[in-house]
Amino acid sequence: MAQLYYRFSTMNAGKSIELIKVAYNYEERGKHVLVMAPSIDDRYGVGKITSRIGIGRDAVIIDSGMNLLDYYLEQESKQHVDCILIDECQFLKKHHVIELSQIVDQYNCPVLTYGLKNDFRNELFEGSYYMLVYADKIEEIKTICHCGRKATMVARVVDGKIAKAGEQIVIGGNDMYVSLCRKHYMEGNLGE
């Protein structure tokens, strides 16, 4: 029976490389996957999933008004879809998550999503909130703080200091964000 998976972590935990690996494993066995990513994530180009180690692949672009159930049914009518993989799922809207739930429940197609849970202010993104509500399986991908403890917070760094206010969504990478344990996030300690 198919399930809706939400695999979350902070930055630099290997979420994108995990998605690329899962897609490869399906395709190696002759299976057809839909690999998707929200249009807002343009760090490496819109419609691109790229890991920090340099491996990437193309993805179908999800915009805020897209109906994922309709898109799935259109693709399914052309070729059977064995799995849907979505990167940066924190940027999904509530209706996207509900549509993914319908794909799983009505068409028995597994959906694996990868993304952040909380933002730099330690608040949930819309997509993260609804993934926590609707997902059948919620799995944490662990990474570490500079001190060696588990990183659970994403800090936005502005002028060498942790920012605690600002727009929720500002696309960036290692130049703007660092993963920290709660203690060092609260202290504002970025390490070396």
Q: Is 88 a catalytic residue?
A: yes
User: CA of 149: how far to CAs of 41, 86, 133, 143, 155, in Å?
Assistant: 28, 28, 27, 8, 15
- Helix residue ranges, H only, 45-187: 68-78, 94-107, 126-134, 182-187
- CA-to-CA distance for 38 and 41, rounded, in angstroms? 6
Residue in 18, 76, 88, 123 annotated catalytic: 88
Helix (H), strand (E) counts: the chain = 5, 11
- Cα–Cα distance for residue pair 36/103, rounded to 1 Å: 14
The residues annotated as belonging to the active site are 88
